[in-house]
């Protein structure tokens, strides 16, 4: 089985390098999504966010919403940049960066994100040869971390840009990274 993960197009948070919130694409993001040809797949799913919904539409793909692909919940940090958050809550940011199970923002931990996304990936039954999933960068990072059996702290060491394509191949419990950020 092949799982093709497409990162949603540009949002204001992505442009500003801020913690993601459920926000629409920027006008440039809408245009960019419409200019990309979607890879062929037997089935398409997407995260419930506005950005993923708009990206799938721009790609011309009818994608079914999958709640387990929702972006990481950054709690009260949503919409703020890391620098802004670090200035306001330096100890909380340090704790969050040091411990993947930490949730000083009141949202979801990176460890919990990894478990959720890894569970989604391992629940794929292989009834289609190729699955297209439109998701945000943190979800795609979590899928890669799960596939290569890396620890949750490595999540931020993977660069995923807007509209990039990441491909995983294999089957539940045995995934390989074929392409990253193409």
- The number of domains in the chain is 1
Task: Print burial letters for 111-129: b (CB count within 10 Å at least 16), e (below 16).
Answer: bbbbebbbebbeebeeeee
Structural domain for 47, as ranges: 2-179
Please give the Cα distance from 80 to 107 (Å, whole number).
14
What are the residues facing 177 on neighbouring strands?
Answer: 168
In this prediction, residues 149-169 reach a mean pLDDT of 94
What's the pLDDT at 87? 97
Task: Please report which confidence band the pLDDT of residue 181 belongs to, taking 50, 70 and 90 as the band edges.
Answer: confident
- For residues 45 and 104, the answer to whether their CB atoms sit within 8 Å is no
Look up the CATH number of the domain holding residue 49: 3.40.50.1240
What's the pLDDT at 182? 76
Kindly report, residue by residue over 96-125, the tens digit of the pLDDT. 999 999 999 999 999 999 999 999 999 998
Kindly report, residue by residue over 43-61, the tens digit of the pLDDT. 999 999 999 999 999 999 9
């Amino acid at each position: 089985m092949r799982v093709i993960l497409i990162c949603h197009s540009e949002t204001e948070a992505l442009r500003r390098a801020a913690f993601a919130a459920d926000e629409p694409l920027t006008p440039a993001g809408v245009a960019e999504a419409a200019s990309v040809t979607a890879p062929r797949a037997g089935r398409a799913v997407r995260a419930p966010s506005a950005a993923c919904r708009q990206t799938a539409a721009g790609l011309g793909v009818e994608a079914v919403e999958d709640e387990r692909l929702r972006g990481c919940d950054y709690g009260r940090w949503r919409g703020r940049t890391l620098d802004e958050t670090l200035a306001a809550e330096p100890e909380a940011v340090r704790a969050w960066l040091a411990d993947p199970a930490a949730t000083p923002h009141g949202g979801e931990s990176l460890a919990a994100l990894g478990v959720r996304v890894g569970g989604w990936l391992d629940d794929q039954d292989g009834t289609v040869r190729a699955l297209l999933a439109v998701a945000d960068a943190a979800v795609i990072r979590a899928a890669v971390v799960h596939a290569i059996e890396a620890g949750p702290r490595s999540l931020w060491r993977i660069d995923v840009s807007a509209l990039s394509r990441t491909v995983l191949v294999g089957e539940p419990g045995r995934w390989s990274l074929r392409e990253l950020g193409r």
